Structures are given as structure tokens and as C-alpha cells.
Amino acid sequence: MRRVSRGDRDAFAAIAATHGPAIERFALRLLVQRQRAEEVLQETLMKAWREAARYDPDRARLSTWLHQIAHNLCIDILRRHSREQPLTENADTIIGSDESPETLVQTRETQRQVTVAVIALSQRHRTALILTYYQSLPNRDVAQIMGISVRALESLLVRARRELKTILEESI
């Protein structure tokens, strides 16, 4: 990021190539619309380019900082578009979007049910689950991205899993 802050396009391209796919997957899972996820990725990268000098590796890992930027952009979009098309109509967009065949253990219908259930969660629960389980970020990083303590995140995850279980049981 020091090189990026000095205008090094090659360093920026390397960061974009390394972190871009994970940021896009996160945005897609949270927003459930590919076009909006791509917009979040572009805006995240543009903001990282413009604010590279502000990045402090002592405060957060680069992936955490980029996820935090993307998270804030996603939340803004969700707030602006909360009255638009229900998210569940776009569930097929993200099912198995880019997982390897080894990770696709369940049937497509089961995946769809889980995806619809995750989409039905509150924004905070959905964000916590996606960052923790789909993005595989450590709790410390997820808490930092969401602006809460690790203890609060752990409580949030318990409630999110409970809510997810209830939604899935009701759909069966």
C-alpha cells in the first residue's frame, strides 16, 4: 500500500488481483445482485487507490480494511434500495457462484433454501454470517469491519445462527 500511495499502478494491480475476487464475492452475497456487487468492487478499489496513504497496517490487515470499505458501501446501497425488489428473487444469482466442486456437498435445492434463508436474515445477521463463514475472516477482523467488539460479534453470530435455523425449519 505504500507503493500504491506513491502512484504505483503495478502494486495496485497486484492488490486488486489478490483481493478483488473476495471483495466481489462478499458484496454479491450481501447484495444478491451481480451488477451492484461489481459496482461495490469498483468503488472499493477506487477508494483504496485514493486513500492508500491512510491505510495503517498496525490497525488492520489489508483484507480487513478493504472488506470494511466494501461493507460500508454495501450498507449504503441496502439502505437506499430497501424498498426495491425483494432480495429473495435474486437467490439463484449467488448459488454456487464460484465455489469449487469439492465445497458443493449439498444438492442445488438445499443450497437454494440456505441462500434464501440467509437473504431473509436481518442485515447485521447476514453480514456477520457472510464475513465469518463465507469469507472465512477471523472474528477479530469481522468485528472490526462491523464496528463492534469481538464479544458482541460472537453474540450476534449465536443469534444469527438461531434465526437461520428457525427460517430453515419453517421452510421445510
Split at pLDDT 50, 70, 90, the class of 101 is low
In whole numbers, what is the pLDDT of the chain averaged over residues?
87
Task: Please compute, for residue 157, the number of CA atoms within 13 A of its CA located in the half-sphere on the CB side.
Answer: 19
CATH of residue 126: 1.20.140.160
Nearest one of 156, 162, 146 to 72, comparing CA atoms: 146
95 phi-psi bin (left φ>0, alpha ψ -120 to 50, beta other): beta
- C-beta of residue 118 within 8 angstroms of C-beta of residue 164: yes
Specify the number of domains making up the chain. Answer: 1
This prediction's pTM = 0.75
pLDDT at 81: 72
Q: Do the Cβ atoms of 29 and 70 come closer than 8 Å? A: no
Domain housing 96:
2-171
In whole angstroms, give the CA distance from residue 129 to residue 42.
23
Contacts of 53 (CB under 8 A, 6+ apart): 5
pLDDT at 80: 83
What's the pLDDT band for 114 if we cut at 50, 70, 90? confident
